Amino acid sequence: MPAEEFYVRYYSGHQGRYGHEFIEFEFHADGRCRYANNSNYRNDSLIKKEMTVSPLMIKELKRIIADSEVMKEDDHKWPKKNVVGKQELEIRFGNEHVSFETAKIGSLVDVQGSEDPEGLRVFYYLVQDLKCLVFSLITLHWKVGSDEMFDLLHYASKVAKACLGMDLKGYQNLTKA
């Protein structure tokens, strides 16, 4: 009897002056976990980490996803990806396989102003919880200063959005003038 199918992948990124800046991670049912993070701002390089988490970790991950009820949602009314970037959440859980794609979300204001605030809110919070978990795993296993990376990407996307597609460098030049 095959084990319950399970797979999670999250991606958030954009293409800009600094190339492809993104964060992506995935978990397989057997515990294999990959994390990739690229930011060319200040010449930071591509980080690619791989590790195997224990069955208990996968069990907890499944619980978090199940509790969120994200599998019940649908992305057809969610904001479409745009020049500022996109997010992808792909989950295979038992008999269901979702692959959601939406724009970056700056804050709850974006959620509340959307056509499906309840669904997008579920997505929004789950993504934060997943990132939090992955951030802890990476930080503890590798002792890298990942919080800087997370904050940086988040900040960069907010600024770019505020300036209607301008990238971080453009914004900095603007404020210096």
- The residue ranges that bind other proteins (CB under 8 A) are 2, 5, 7, 9, 11, 20, 22, 24-26, 28, 30-32, 34-36, 38, 46-57, 59-60, 63-64, 74-76, 80, 88, 90, 92, 95-102, 125, 128-129, 132-133, 136-137, 139-143
φ, ψ dihedrals at 110, nearest 5°: -65, -40
**Residue closer to other proteins (CB basis): 99 or 173:** 99
CB of 152 to other proteins, least distance (A): 18
CB of 14 to other proteins, least distance (A): 12
**Residue closer to other proteins (CB basis): 38 or 166:** 38
Instruction: Judge whether 113 and 107 are in contact, CB under 8 Å.
Output: no
Q: CA of 39: how far to CAs of 23, 31, 155, 156, 162, in Å?
A: 9, 26, 12, 10, 19
**Residue closer to other proteins (CB basis): 87 or 166:** 87
Q: Which helix (H) or strand (E) holds 169?
A: helix 168-176
Q: What is the DSSP letter of 129?
A: H
**Residue closer to other proteins (CB basis): 130 or 166:** 130
φ, ψ dihedrals at 123, nearest 5°: -60, -50
Q: Which residues contact 176 (CB under 8 A, 6 or more apart)?
A: none
Q: CA of 65: how far to CAs of 30, 110, 117, 145, in Å?
A: 17, 22, 19, 26
**Residue closer to other proteins (CB basis): 103 or 166:** 103
What angle (nearest 5°) sits at the alpha carbon of residue 68, between those of residues 67 and 69? 90
